[in-house]
Amino acid sequence: MMASSYNAKDEDGHITVSGPGGGTLRSKKPENTAFKQQRLPAWQPILTAGTVLPAFFIIGLIFIPIGIGLYVTSNNIKEFEVTLYDMSGPHQNPFRNCNNVFMYYGLSNFYQNHRRYVKSRDDSQLNGDLESLMKPSKECEPYAYHENKPIAPCGAIANSMFNDTLELFYNDPNGTKIQIPMTATGIAWWTDKHVKFRNPTDNANLTAVFQGTTKPVNWRRPVYELDTDPQNNGFINEDFIVWMRTAALPTFRKLYRIIPKKNSMVPTLLRGNYTLEVVYNYPVRSFEGRKRMILSTISWMGGKNPFLGIAYITVGSVCFFLGVVLLIIHHKYGNRNNSADIAN
């Protein structure tokens, strides 16, 4: 004991005449804080039938109406689909509203999400980097050079760009075909068009800019001849941009044109027969694919897809049902347990 206080004093050099009691000043006694003693105030939910019951019912009650709403919304969307084997022919127009109508082309069995395919692009080149223009990145291999000239735009994605043209004609009851005016801009993301994709220079003469490069192998025209509109030509051609945004799933659609509404009174597409004219360039046989043309309106939740509505209704109902099951369980067993477990 003597030695103990003796040593304790050594540590800080000052001598307190308090015997072992002095040691408590520096004692290793842990602090009595809620955190250190693991006594933080806590919410301790116990999952039993009784306690989770409300959650199930509430979820059910919330989800079912949402589901119904979604389902109705989706059903209100008009959609019209043509498989592009029958090239043309009169089609009945289902649209009667006054909103924009979106024209999509659809491909199935096209694996735009293939790992090597997705990688096969050069974002710097597409962003207008002059160096990348002439020296495409390695990722583009083997679609980086053709005949020792750099390919612009390089890579497999660009190379396989969809190049059919679709035109829609209104079969006037008097026999004439009136081409429906469609806009080719506004179909890509704004950020893509203005940030991600840029022509190498703002020079209007794209031909000069792309001098020294060559077009992708599968393309019929070089990139600077995609459109006549200088704001929609070269890398910032929206059809090109849309194509470059690789689809998530092998069956996909891509926005092709927008049929703008004329005014709030006149339907965008009149009732009647229409003819679709397709310039058939794009081969899909090799992968047993299928081409489609889709006309659709959209709602606040996107295109026509009843799935989410059904899913909400289903999950809501299941929750409700389970809630009922739990209620039964709670009534049958919960009481027994409560009384036995806790309070007699």
Under rule CB under 8 A, which residues in 304-323 are in contact with other proteins? 305, 307-308, 311-312, 315, 318-319, 322
Q: Using DSSP bridges, classify how beta strands 145-146 and 273-279 pair: parallel, antiparallel or unpaired.
A: unpaired
**Total Cβ atoms within 10 A of residue 206:** 20
- How near is the Cβ of 266 to other proteins at its closest, in Å? 27
Cβ-based nearer residue to other proteins, 1 or 265: 1
Cβ-based nearer residue to other proteins, 58 or 87: 58
Neighbour-count burial of 40, counting CB atoms closer than 10 A to its CB (0-12 exposed, 13-18 middle, 19+ buried): exposed
Asked whether 212 and 266 are in contact (CB, 8 A), the reply is no
Distance CA 297, CA 80 (A): 9
- How near is the Cβ of 240 to other proteins at its closest, in Å? 14
Cβ-based nearer residue to other proteins, 248 or 265: 248
Distance CA 219, CA 123 (A): 19
Residue 185 binds other proteins (CB under 8 A): no
Q: What is the footprint of other proteins within residues 29-88 (CB under 8 A)?
A: 29-32, 36-38, 40-52, 55-56, 59, 63, 66, 70
Residue 4 binds other proteins (CB under 8 A): yes
- How near is the Cβ of 176 to other proteins at its closest, in Å? 33
Q: Is 172 helix (H, G, I), strand (E, B) or coil?
A: coil
Residue 15 binds other proteins (CB under 8 A): yes
Asked whether 112 and 244 are in contact (CB, 8 A), the reply is no
Cβ-based nearer residue to other proteins, 178 or 315: 315
- How near is the Cβ of 49 to other proteins at its closest, in Å? 4
Distance CA 307, CA 311 (A): 6
